[in-house]
Each structure stands twice: as structure tokens, then as C-alpha cells.
Amino acid sequence: MAVHAHPDDESSKGAATTARYVADGVDVLVVSCTGGERGDVLNPRLQHDPEVVRDIVGYRRREMAEAVRILGVQHRWLGFVDSGLPEGDPLPPLPDGCFALEPLEIAAAPLVRLVREFRPHVMTTYDENGGYPHPDHIMCHRVSVEAYEAAGDPDRYVGHGAPPWTPLKLYYNQTFSRLKITAYHEALLASGAESPFAEWMERWEEREERPVTTRVPVGDHIETADAALRAHATQVDPDGFWFAVPAALRREVWPTEDYELARSRVGGPVAGTPEADGVIEDDLFAGVREHLAAQAAGVAR
């Protein structure tokens, strides 16, 4: 289960991973907490398109449906309203009724229900900073952790799905690391191309470097992820940042998507523990299959 804040996040964060696991026969459910109602149109070709202007909500839902088709995943909306990204100094207040202002138990309840219905062994979401400090990304982190911790407890969220279900691992997407961006930057320059990452390199000290515990090989699924992201046509410029590094170069230089193992009930290099020092997994299900096999063997005996 991959939990995201807005439609398009599932295609810019971990999309090749979900496509890889779908190809491996794993059931994958993408959850969108909000409908992206307050998102800006970031593709200059569509900013004045009459259909987009008239019905941005419907347009984004159609984009999401196409991305879901491309990735081969299942999908559910949680139904909350996009909070928007406040700008200015001081920052304006968030709009009434938005996702980020919901009480935690109200916001987490439908996700708890989904966890109990779908019964995932592994969940992915964002770290406590949201990957970047968008209020919906931070709230997505909070509800995901709450659902991971609470869904297996029969005394919590009574009436929100049954029976209880306990996921085994929780990961945070780590889409951009210093090592990865440096590798892209240097590879682009070496190829004679212009790099869009020069400014990133200059102000990297301002960014918190998160731990990476898990690198999932996804080289065969990079084009699928790109196609899914392009399906969100209002949200990405096809000539812009997201596609600055050609797929072939990405496959050569950094053919993985990277994660931080935040919680585990089956061991593994949980970030911040001594066991994580220098250990890198290559599978989100590391330890899960062994755990399930041991459970099955115990039942069989």
C-alpha cells in the first residue's frame, strides 16, 4: 500500500517500484488522501486550456485514472480536500475544512479501514517532514503512521473495518538523496548536457540528508513511471525538470528507487538503529516472505 497526499505524487515518488511489484505479481494499492483540488497547473501548455480552467477537479481525476492504468495498480481516494501550499511572509492560514486541519483520528479513520480491508504487508509514505514541507504531505505522514500502528489493534478505531490487520513494514520514500542528485549532475555534465541540479548542489547544506536503508532495483520500469507521470499533464511540464535526465542515463547511473525503513515487525535495518549501520536492503519485502513462511510452517505443524 502506497499512501500519497495528492494525485501525481504516486507517479513522482516510487512509481517504478509499484510497477515492478505489480509485474512481480504483488497486489499494490495506491491511496490518494486528497483530490489535489488546490494544485496549480504547472504545465504551461495547459494553463489556459478551457477544459482545465472549467473543471480542474474532474481533469485531475481523469489524469489519475490514466496513471493507475499505466502502473497497473489499484487505487482509492480517501476523500479529503487539498490544503493548498501557503505562500508569503507571514504564511496565510490554511483554508477551513482542508486535509491538514482535520483531527488526526478523523483523517486516519478511512485509512485504517483501508488497511484492514486491503491487508497490506508493506506500507510506504513520506517522512515526518513530508519529503518537503507541504501541509498535506506532513499530514499524509501522520495518518499513515497512525494507521500502521493502529490498524492491528481491535480496541482502536472500533467499527472502522474488521477484523484488525497488522502491517509488517513501513517505509518512507526518499526520492532525492545527495548521492543520487550528485550522480545525475555529474553524468549530465559528462555527457555534454546541461544539468538542472547546479543550484541544488550549491545549497545542499540547507537540506536535511535522510538515511537510506533500502534501494529497490527498478531499471526495467523507469519508462513506465515516466509515462504515469506524464499522464498528470496539468502537473508536469513534459520538457521540464522531471524529465531532464534521460531514462537510459537514469538506468545506467541510478537504477534504483530509495527508501528509509521507518518501522518493522520482522527485523531489518530500521533507520536510527545499530542494525541499520551500513546495511542496505534491495527489497521492500525483505524479511516478510520469511516471516510468512515461518508462520505457515507453524500452522501446518
Buried b (16+ CB within 10 A) or exposed e, 200-233: beeeeeeeeebbbbbbbebeebbebbbbbbbbbb
Output the CA angle 70-284-129, nearest 5 degrees.
85
Owner of C-alpha cell 501446518: 300
Quick one: cell of 151?
490498524
- For the chain, what's the residue count? 301
Q: Which of 102, 118, 109 is nearest to 29 (CA)?
A: 118
Cα dihedral across residues 225, 231, 237, 238: positive or negative = positive
Cell of 24: 512481480
Any binding-site annotation on 9?
Answer: yes
127 is in an annotated binding site: no
Does 49 show up as a binding residue in the annotation?
A: no
Q: Is 267 left (phi over 0), alpha (psi -120 to 50) or beta?
A: left
Q: Where does residue 130 fall: left (phi above 0), alpha (psi -120 to 50 degrees), or beta otherwise?
A: left
Annotated binding-site residue numbers for Zn(2+): 6, 9, 137
Annotated binding-site residue numbers: 6, 9, 137
